[in-house]
Amino acid sequence: MEPGAQILQRMAGFTATLRDNGFAIGLAEAGDGARVLASPLAARPARLRQAFRALFCSDAAQWQKFDELFAAYWLGHGIRQMAKLSGTTRKPGPRSLRQFAEAGQGTPEAAESPRSDGAIDNPADRRGRSEGASRHEALDRTDFRHISNPEALEAAHAAASRLASVLRTRLTRRHQAGTRGRRLDIRHTIRRSISRGGTPLDLVWRRRRTQPLKLVVLLDASGSMSLYTPVFTRFIHGVLRAFQQSDAFLFHTRLVQIADALRDRDPQRAIDRMSLLAEGVGGGTRIGECLAQFRQWHASRVLTSRTVLMIVSDGYDTGAPGTLGDAMAALHKRCRRIVWLNPMIGWAGYEPVARGMQEALPHVDLFAPAHNLASLQRLEPYFARL
């Protein structure tokens, strides 16, 4: 059964929603989805969800969050604040999803929808849903200093997972032979044809080889960063969970490796384990000395030409002048990129005039704000190009 115009329109909105949440969906998948929606499968939402999940999900992370996106778009159920909806959410009521898509009725905000108990939705409830969406948008723009509730911390954790997913693999310039690819490997094709009298019956192709990036995070836990440390600890926990080739260190007046503690599956237990290691958190900071320690004892082990070194700090260094600049120069030669995230950039009128920042900036590839969730999300295009 060929899909109608209303089905195609609704399917376009759903695929846009999935793309906004990290799903790689092309025209072929969208067309297949529209044909599934026009089929008898649409009479039962559970079966339709299973079919869409098999069609659109390509890894475990997408599989885990698909049900939530499906319920939010097609059934009008709630969704956590970090999921972005591109299409208009509509409630199907007692009819099938395909019948609803063909009907093309208005949104819940424009028309009253019957509830399962026969009552009519209260307009105040609809206003509450709109206000809830506004609160979610406001959360993205709220400075980390002003949020401490579990939902906000969970949102930061989700942002870290998505950021780590774009770092997981990248295409390199090296190629490898295979049965499929975009370029013909002439040398190997000729060599293989020798046993067949020189007739190239078996073609050998060359394709780009995927090679994972490594990520190392250094988090400033001094007193001037104390309002941001809890959120970024959750951030690092999300990075370590989603990005296997990674490591993490915490520094103030000394350097502490925290990766093993933060790899615990439970975020709160991981933070509790880390707190046992992080004696001296909330005091002064000697960034240059800590980076020198990192260079001496850890750099040769964790830094390679495929490593992105991410430093989260406000740059207020109380150590000896010149130490930070020397350490940064040496580290920059060992890794692929150095990214410095500074929450203070989001403050009105901020200028990187601190001595530590002045020494570090010549060796930084990306100097970016990290004061709210929106600033973390804006990092994704940069990492995707590495």
Q: How far apart are the two ends of the chain, measured CA to CA in Å? A: 44
What domain count does the chain have?
3
Q: Which domain holds residue 190?
A: 172-211
Question: CATH code at 287?
Answer: 3.40.50.410
In sequence order, the 6+-apart residues with CB closer than 8 A to the CB of 338 are 308, 309, 311, 328, 331, 332, 363, 364, 365, 366
Calpha distance 141→370 (Å, rounded): 11
Strand 366-369 to 205-211 pairing: unpaired
pTM summary value: 0.58
What number is the average pLDDT over the span 369-374? 86
In-domain check, residue 21: yes
pLDDT tops 70 at residue 133: no
What number is the average pLDDT over the span 70-84? 57
Both 249 and 367 in one domain: the answer is yes
Both 378 and 233 in one domain: the answer is yes
Both 101 and 231 in one domain: the answer is no
Both 231 and 361 in one domain: the answer is yes
SS3 382: helix
Both 239 and 206 in one domain: the answer is no
pLDDT of residue 93: 39
In-domain check, residue 301: yes
Q: For 231-266, how does the pLDDT look when each residue is reduced to its tens digit (9 = 90+)?
A: 888 888 877 876 767 899 999 888 999 888 888 877
Banded model confidence at residue 360, pLDDT cuts 50, 70, 90: very high
Q: For 201-229, how does the pLDDT look when each residue is reduced to its tens digit (9 = 90+)?
A: 677 777 666 666 788 999 998 888 888 88
In-domain check, residue 374: yes
pLDDT of residue 255: 92
